[in-house]
Amino acid sequence: MDAELVMLVRSGGTDGVSAENITRLEKAGWRVKEAEELEFENVDTSQIRSHHRHNLNKLHVWSWTEYERIIFLDADTVCKGSLAELWQMPGDFAAAPDVWWDVITDNRFNSGLMVLRPSTEEFHSLVKHVSDPNYHSPNDADQAFLNTYYRFRYFGLPYKYNFNLIMYQFHRYYWDLLWDEAVIVHFTVRKPKPNPRDHCHKGCNEWEPMEWYGMMFREMLAFYGWEDDIPLYA
């Protein structure tokens, strides 16, 4: 698509991305942008659930005004189709619906894939509103906040751009129905995230998507010559 690949990373702390893996990312064609932890007035980020504690750093991408438009993807997503039509998205912000074990059609979006127009003004507005308790609850991360902030004014994308793994376990009929047209597979409910050398096999809740993921990951390792050295895990 003639688009630049940019990776937003944290390099500090025990869970940051190592210098060795940053080098690997660059070898694979990524421009790596290290970002400082965002701070918000009167917000104690330590209250946010541990596995979401750094997610508000996603707001950094709104400040990347060197780009006209950004397609943002979480690190636990795998692309299996074309993203080309997303560049034609109307408006300034778009996202796909979320799915829950008891809700197949949610009017809230999942922030694992977002299409946005960067804006310094919008970035400062987002950071300011995180400090507003009407927009951000103490233990929430980015997704609940962004759903409140963009309520009634985002462009809704189809399911295929957030093919959430929870669909496989709880809404299998729709998973099978839509699999061929799925573009982004989102491994939301796997904790830890998939490891192609230690993933579930037939009999576990998501064995078929995990087998597919393992195949895709091994193809990537072979392409870059990393068969004996798995480089990255979220």
CATH of the domain at 82: 3.90.550.10
Is 218 within the bounds of a domain?
no
Residue 171 lies in a domain: no
Q: Residue 203: is its pLDDT beyond 70? A: no
**Does any domain span residue 51?**
yes
Q: Which residue has the higher pLDDT, 126 or 17?
A: 126
- Give the residue-averaged pLDDT of 74-92: 94
Residues 6+ apart with CB under 8 A from 117: 68, 69, 70, 92, 93
| Domains: count for the chain | 1
- Is residue 39 assigned to a domain? yes
108 neighbors 147 (Cβ within 8 angstroms): yes
With respect to residue 225, please indicate whether it lies within any of the assigned structural domains. no
Over residues 209-214, the mean pLDDT reads 86
Q: Is residue 27 part of a domain?
A: yes
Which residues make beta-bridge pairs with 164?
Answer: 186
pLDDT at 192 over 60: no
Q: Is 58 within the bounds of a domain? A: yes
In this structure, is residue 62 part of a structural domain? yes
**Higher per-residue pLDDT: 202 or 149:** 149
pLDDT value, residue 79: 94
pLDDT in tens, 110-134: 999 999 999 999 999 999 999 999 9
Range of the domain at 39: 6-164
Return d(Cα 210, Cα 142) in angstroms, integer: 26
- The pLDDT > 90 percentage for the chain reads 63
Question: Alpha carbon of 17 to those of 23, 92, 164: distances in Å?
Answer: 10, 30, 25
